[in-house]
Amino acid sequence: MEEEQFSWKKTSHGLSKSNKSYPTLEAYHVSYDTKVHQADKLMETGMKEECKVVGDPRFSKCELALKNWPSEVYDIEWDLIMVDAPTGYFDGAPGRMSAIYTAGLLGRNREERGD
């Protein structure tokens, strides 16, 4: 079992216990398909014009946008988005830039309110 899978099993066990105490808590598992050693290239990718457009990640032309989450993740106007990242201190570790980028898009997609 990979370290990330083991970590998710431990976390999801704790999450199921948390859901009993906080039934409105929503959490989604994200697979990280980038690696830490790609960080410089991904930073350059994030500077491309298609990555500067704020919109629905499902239709983004930016390769950092994650498009395989459940539709409700994209449709909800979130009050808080927390990206809990994997261990990332060695080159082969999962990267988290796509999750951070996508969370940023979701946060910016809120409709403006007058309050």
pTM of this structure: 0.70
Give residue 43's identity as a one-letter amino acid code: M
Of the candidates 31, 43, 44, 24, the residue with the CA atom closest to the CA atom of residue 85: 31
- Amino acid occupying residue 107: G
Q: Which helix (H) or strand (E) holds 6?
A: helix 3-21
Q: Express each pLDDT in 56-115 by its tens digit.
A: 999 999 999 999 888 988 998 888 888 876 677 788 888 888 888 999 999 888 776 555
CA distance 50 to 45: 9
